[in-house]
Structure 1
Amino acid sequence: MPLNNLKDLYIAELKDIYSANKQSKSTTKMLAKEATDADLVKALERGVEGVDDGMKAMESILDKHGHKPSGEFCKGMEGLIKEAKHHVTEESFGDTDVKDAMIVTQYQRMEHYAIAGYGCLHTFARRLGLDEDAKKIKTCLEATKEGDVYLSGLAESEINKAALAA
């Protein structure tokens, strides 16, 4: 699809963030299975639910504009997932606390990618006067930011402290 105007770019980016979410869902599940800290496991499980919510929101918006979520493959998230899998499942860890710290690191990288994508989409929707879309996207953006802040707090208060003591 040629990107001739902001609306075309908006649709392409909606598909891209949908693809990013779709890809990150299985990796987030994998990270949850690899984690040992109970609070981290719960946070990652909530992350899977958030990804599902984001996918549903993007599907709804795309449907409203007469598009399907297919047609884009997010190479950015593909790279982040490759890194996460490598660092979490192929690295050797002498301590599970250190592994949990790595899991937080990799998951937050994926979250930050989603925050950037949702942020751009929110700006596009507002510029296009798509207030209903902007509201849905802002909900996804805020939920992702909240998850990121929670994980940072968890890392600072528990996980990194335990990894330091390893």
Structure 2
Amino acid sequence: MAITTLRELYIDQLQDIYSANRQSLEATKKMRDKASESDLKAALDDGLKGIEDGMKQVKALIEGHDADPTGEHCKGMEGLVKEANAHAIDANIDDKDVRDASIITQYQRMVHYGIAGYGTAQAFAKRLGLNDDAATIGKCLDETYDGDTRMNKIARREVNPAAAA
């Protein structure tokens, strides 16, 4: 389908976010299973809940515009998931603290992609006068930022010092 309006681009971006979330959900589950540090595991568990909630919210928005949530496959997240597999999940890292540091790195790359997607979709929704959509996306964006901030704290306080020791 050719995209000719901002509304069509907005829906396309929501579908991309939905696909990205679906892909990152599986990678995050695998990283949680590989993580050693208890705060990291807890943060990844909360991240999984946040991704699932974001998927529900975005799905409802897409369906509210009479579109198919699975109408797009996010190649960007596909690449980030491949990186997470190569550098954290399947990586040959013997030191558990170094693996945890790598898990945080890969998780945050996926989160930052999500922040960009949610921020763009929210800007489009506002421009289109879709205030309820913009508010829903804003909540998803805030939760994603909160998860990123939490991961930064875990990295700085616990995981990176242990990995450097």
Q: Structures share a fold, TM > 0.5?
A: yes
Q: Which moved more, 1:90-99 or 1:16-25?
A: 90-99
Decide whether the 8 Å contact of 2:114 with 2:144 is kept in 1. Answer: yes
- Amino acid corresponding to residue 131 of structure 2 in structure 1: D
Indicate the residue corresponding to 1:24 in structure 2: 24
Decide whether the 8 Å contact of 2:43 with 2:147 is kept in 1. Answer: yes
Indicate the residue corresponding to 1:121 in structure 2: 121
Matched, 1:108 2:119: no
Which residues of structure 1 form unaligned runs of 5+? Answer: none
RMSD value over aligned CA atoms?
Answer: 0.7
After TM superposition, list the pairs within 5 Å mapping 1:131-146 onto structure 2.
Answer: 131-146=131-146
How many angstroms apart in 2 are the aligned matches of 1:91 and 1:72? 29
How many angstroms apart in 2 are the aligned matches of 1:144 and 1:126? 19
How many angstroms apart in 2 are the aligned matches of 1:47 and 1:135? 20
Which residues of structure 2 form unaligned runs of 5+? Answer: none
How many angstroms apart in 1 are the aligned matches of 2:157 and 2:71? 42
Indicate the residue corresponding to 1:35 in structure 2: 35
TM-score by length of 2: 0.98
Indicate the residue corresponding to 2:62 in structure 1: 62
TM-score by length of 1: 0.97
How many angstroms apart in 2 are the aligned matches of 1:64 and 1:28? 28
How many angstroms apart in 2 are the aligned matches of 1:90 and 1:151? 21
Following superposition, the deviation at residue 91 of structure 1 comes to 2.4
Q: Which moved more, 1:88-97 or 1:15-24?
A: 88-97
- Amino acid corresponding to residue 126 of structure 2 in structure 1: R
Indicate the residue corresponding to 2:154 in structure 1: 154
Does the residue aligned with 2:122 lie in a helix, a strand or coil?
helix
- Amino acid corresponding to residue 133 of structure 1 in structure 2: D
How many angstroms apart in 2 are the aligned matches of 1:8 and 1:89? 36
Following superposition, the deviation at residue 22 of structure 1 comes to 0.4
Alpha-carbon displacement from aligned partner over 1:54-103 (angstroms, at most 9, x marks no partner): 11011111111111201100000000000000111332223100000000
Does the residue aligned with 1:20 lie in a helix, a strand or coil?
helix
Following superposition, the deviation at residue 2 of structure 1 comes to 1.3
